[in-house]
Structure 1
Amino acid sequence: MVGLRERKKERTRRALIEGALRLFDEKGFEETTLAEIAAEADVSTRTFFSYFASKEDVVFYDMDERMELMFSALARRDPGVPPGELLITIIDDILVQAATQEGLTYENTELRVRLILTEPTLQGRALQLLFSSQLRLAQALHEAYADRLTLTDSAAAVGALIGAVKLAVMSGIEHERSLDELWARARRAAEVVQSGLRSLG
């Protein structure tokens, strides 16, 4: 059971995220200061740094959770599960987590995508995170299936699946009007590459 202290920390973190996104939308990313974000959550700037290292980190607030989910799935995998099937399961777990995330709205998702597409600082950070996370996952997948997959196999599979899902979500922002529709689009993208992934190993 989550204790009072942890619940309070999660509320503060959520307030910082929601306050920051609101300010980014109203004032612009570059124009928003850390002090303003902290004030929105009724905490000090020093407290902000207890949760995030920078404004950029607020936009990518769920990256660590997603990476933890991926590596946890790899660690507890059934040895009999083919690598392609495991990757599909990992993506589905991430989509389920996103769909059930408290406080996540279509508007916030839309704003995050718009910020990443238009702010040079965030574009650079997004590419860095995308590259590093895919490389780490590819290496972990290769190690988990060292007798069946080369590092090239693992890298190609991870790049194809994650790239397809991310691009499907980003391209769907202007066409869908709910999180459920976006997640359906992401799942469809995973299905498109699924047949190729099932041939792995």
Structure 2
Amino acid sequence: MEPETRRDRKKRLTRERIVDAAVRLFLDQGYESTTVAQIAAAADVDPKTFFNYFRSKGEVIFDRPGLYDEALLGVIADRRPGERPGELLGRVLDDFEARVLPFLAPPRDRTERTRLNKLIMTTPALQATLAALIQDLQQRQADALREAYPELDEITAAAMTGALFGAMYQAALVSIRSGQSRDQGWQAMLRARDVVVHGLVGVDRSLNGDPA
């Protein structure tokens, strides 16, 4: 990984300042009552600067969707010789961890994270934003998968990516409802990935104590 430049560091710190300000306001006065202008003022940036980083206030909570997109498409672009679609999708989270996690803001304290997760779970607008982001990422992944593997039809590609994204999303929701940490949530998503990649038959065998 290339070292962070001064410009990159400045952009990262600005983004983190906006995220911190937004989260504080969301938790203090509610999501619906918080405006972009208030977030910008609390972060000491111009409202135009806010929109250089985020398309809406809802995206602030979900960090960097554009970076997610780059990582998820990057694993397909950098696929290994002879690697099949299922094998490639199995590596998505590993690649995501290497490309994305180092650039995200550090985890907040447990109390604040729990409050933020509760806010997401109880705010329809935030749930809608998250669902839209996931659906968009899934579609882009399916399109890229078909381009890389012309033998895949549209339905098969959609089913493969849908299974992966759906399982990870549901695992993340369970983790949030349980009040788990970001690290625990990540492990839950990895476990969901394994369920999809190895298949339900493999899960049944492991539950019965049979060899894989």
TM-score, normalized by length of structure 1?
Answer: 0.85
Residue 102 and residue 63 in structure 1: after superposition, are their counterparts in 2 closer, same or farther (change >3 A)? closer
Q: Distance in 2 between matches of 1:31 and 1:114?
A: 17
Q: Does 2:159 match 1:156?
A: yes
Q: Distance in 1 between matches of 2:49 and 2:184?
A: 36
Contact 1:21 1:111 in 2 (8 A): no
1:99 CA displacement: 4.7
1:196 CA displacement: 3.7
> Quick one: higher RCO (CA 8 Å, sep 6+), 1 or 2?
1
Residue 191 and residue 123 in structure 1: after superposition, are their counterparts in 2 closer, same or farther (change >3 A)? same
Give unmatched runs, 5+ long, in structure 1.
none
Residue 101 and residue 50 in structure 1: after superposition, are their counterparts in 2 closer, same or farther (change >3 A)? closer
2:9 alignment counterpart: 7
Q: Does 2:136 match 1:132?
A: yes
The runs of at least 4 consecutive aligned structure 1 residues that moved more than 6 Å come to: none
1:96 CA displacement: 4.8
Q: Does 2:60 match 1:58?
A: yes
Q: Distance in 2 between matches of 1:34 and 1:23?
A: 10
Give unmatched runs, 5+ long, in structure 2.
201-212
Q: Does 2:27 match 1:22?
A: no
For residues 82-125 of structure 1, the C-alpha deviation after alignment (integer angstroms, 9 at most, x for no partner) is: 21111111122224556544533164654554333222222222
Number of equivalent positions:
196
Contact 1:95 1:183 in 2 (8 A): no
Q: Distance in 2 between matches of 1:111 and 1:101?
A: 23
1:170 alignment counterpart: 173
Residue 144 and residue 110 in structure 1: after superposition, are their counterparts in 2 closer, same or farther (change >3 A)? farther
2:183 alignment counterpart: 180
Aligned-pair RMSD on alpha carbons? 2.3
Q: Distance in 1 between matches of 2:31 and 2:113?
A: 15
For residues 137-190 of structure 1, the C-alpha deviation after alignment (integer angstroms, 9 at most, x for no partner) is: 11111121113x222111111111111011101111233533222222111111
SS at match of 2:24: helix
Contact 1:19 1:40 in 2 (8 A): yes
SS at match of 2:91: helix
The letter for the 2-side match of 1:190 is R
Q: Does 2:128 match 1:121?
A: no
Contact 2:167 2:193 in 1 (8 A): yes
